[in-house]
Structure 1
Amino acid sequence: MAGKGKSTLFSEMTPGADFEARFNAWYDTEHIPIRMDCPGFVSGQRYRRHDGPGYLAVYEMDTLGAMSTEAYTKVKTQPSEETAWMLKNVTGFTRYLADETSVRANIDPQEALDAPFLYAVSFTVPAEATADFDDWYEQDHVPLLLKEPKWLMVRRMRVADGVPETYTHLALHYLADADALQSPARDAARATPWRARLAKEPWFKGSYTVFSRHGQRHFARV
C-alpha cells in the first residue's frame, strides 16, 4: 500500500514518564486515526528518539492543503478532553510543515519509507546561500551518502512553516541500521572541500536527530 505523499507534517512531543503509556495509547487510537480520516492525509508513522525520551510523528500528505480542509480544521478546533489534556501536559513540542523537493533512494521509495531508523537534519539557510546549499546537498552530499547500502533514501524538504525554530530546510534520511551513521560513506560525505567551505559559514549549524520506528504505519481511511 502506497504511503508517501509530497508534503509532510513533522511533529514531536515528549510525555512525562508518569503518563507515557497513556500518551502512546492516545496517539495510536485517537490522535493519528482522526487525521487519517481527513482528506489529503496519506499515512502517518510514529518514531521514538534514539538517544532519549521523546516521540516524533511524520504525517504524509498529498499537499499542505490537507492542513486547511474543513475536516482538519474541525479536528484542530474541537479537540477531545483527552487531546486537550495531552497537549497541555506534553513538552518538547515541535511542528514543521514541509514540501518535498527531491527524493534519492537505493531501493523503491515506498519500501524505504518504512525503514527502521529515521535521521532528521534541519538547517536555517539564508536566502543568499540557498542555491549553493541546495547544489552541495544534491550534487555532493547525497550521492556520497547513498554509496552506503544501508542508507536507503534521502528526502529533501523545504519548510513552509514551523515552530519553535525557523528552519528552512529539512532532510529525512531513511536508514536500514543506525550504524550507517558511522559508515565510510558518511565519513566521506562529511569530508569534502565543498562541505568544508560551507561549514565555515555562521549559519551552518544543523539540528541532527536519530529516531527509531515506533509501531506500524497508519494509512488514510478516506
Structure 2
Amino acid sequence: MGKLIVIASFTNGSQDELDMAARNFVEIYSNLPGIERTGRYRRINGGLSIALAEFSKADGAELHVPDSGKSEVQCEISKGYEENFIKRGDVYGDPRDLPILYSVGFPVPDEHVSDLASWYDKEHTIILHGCSQWISTRRFIMDESSPSIFGRHLALHYLSDIQALRSPEREAARKTAWRDRLATMPWFTGVYTVFLQELPD
C-alpha cells in the first residue's frame, strides 16, 4: 500500500470563502505527524476549492475536518492510497510544483480496478507523456466513500501548460482499442476537472 493522500473538497460559498477553507485545512494538516506535503487548488471555472495532504506512511493520521469559517461552506473529506507515480524521464524537480492539476476520477468496481490500472500504466500514461507539457501522472485507489469527483480510481495529472489537454498525444491516447473496450463498461464515466494551484501565502 502506497502513501496516504487526504483530499478536502469545499463547495457552496464564494470563491474567497472556499479558498479560506482550503487555507484552514492546510494550516491544520501541515502540523500533523507524518505529513510530507500539502497543497491548495482552485477549479479553473470556480465554485470548488480542494486541499491535499500527503503522508509519508500509508497509515497516516486521524482525519480532521477543518472549520471552514462559514457555516454554509460544505466540506467533504476523502482519502486514498498511491498506486503509481510516473513522470517524464527528462524532467527535473517535483512535478507537484506545477501550476495545473488535471484530475480524472472513475467509479470503477473493485473487480475492474486492475484492468483500468493496467491500461493507465502500460498504455495510456505512456502515450500522454509523449507530450512535452504532460509531466507526471499519479494513480490512487480512493475509499469507497470518496466524492464522485474523485471516484474509486483517481488519476492526478501534472501539466506545465493547459495546452497539453489539446495535444495530439491526448487525442491519440483516447483512440486505442484498449480504451475503446474499457469505454463499453457502464462504469467508464470519468469526471474530468482542471485545477490551478494556489501558491502558499
Instruction: Provide the TM-score with structure 1 as the length reference.
Output: 0.79
Cα 1:16–1:129 shift into 2, 3 Å: closer
Q: Count the aligned residue pairs.
A: 197
For residue 122 of structure 1, what is the amino acid of its counterpart?
G
Q: Is 2:143 the counterpart of 1:160?
A: yes
Pick one of 114, 117, 123 that aligns with 1:140: 123
Equivalent residue, structure 2, for 1:220: none
1: distance between equivalents of 2:32 and 2:193? 29
Stretch moving more, 164-173 or 186-195? 164-173
SS in 1 for 2:38: strand
Does structure 2 retain, via aligned residues, the 8 Å contact 1:96–1:161?
Answer: no
Does structure 1 retain, via aligned residues, the 8 Å contact 2:22–2:51?
Answer: no
Tell me by how many angstroms 1:26 deviates: 5.5
What does 1:1-222 correspond to in 2, within 5 Å? 6-17=3-14, 20-21=15-16, 23-25=18-20, 27-28=22-23, 30-68=24-62, 76=65, 83=67, 85-86=69-70, 88-91=71-74, 93-106=75-88, 107-108=91-92, 111-165=94-148, 167-216=151-200
Alpha-carbon RMSD across the aligned residues, in angstroms, is: 2.3
2: distance between equivalents of 1:200 and 1:124? 14
For residue 67 of structure 1, what is the amino acid of its counterpart?
A
Which blocks of at least 5 consecutive residues in structure 1 are unaligned? 218-222
For residue 38 of structure 1, what is the amino acid of its counterpart?
L
1: distance between equivalents of 2:97 and 2:47? 21
Stretch moving more, 155-164 or 136-145? 155-164
For residue 7 of structure 1, what is the amino acid of its counterpart?
L
For residue 95 of structure 1, what is the amino acid of its counterpart?
I
CA deviations on 1:13-59 (whole Å, 9 max, x unpaired) are 02522xx435534643x432221111011121101101232111111
Instruction: Provide the TM-score with structure 2 as the length reference.
Output: 0.87
Higher relative contact order (CA closer than 8 Å, sequence separation 6+): 1
Q: Percent identity?
A: 33
1: distance between equivalents of 2:17 and 2:172? 43
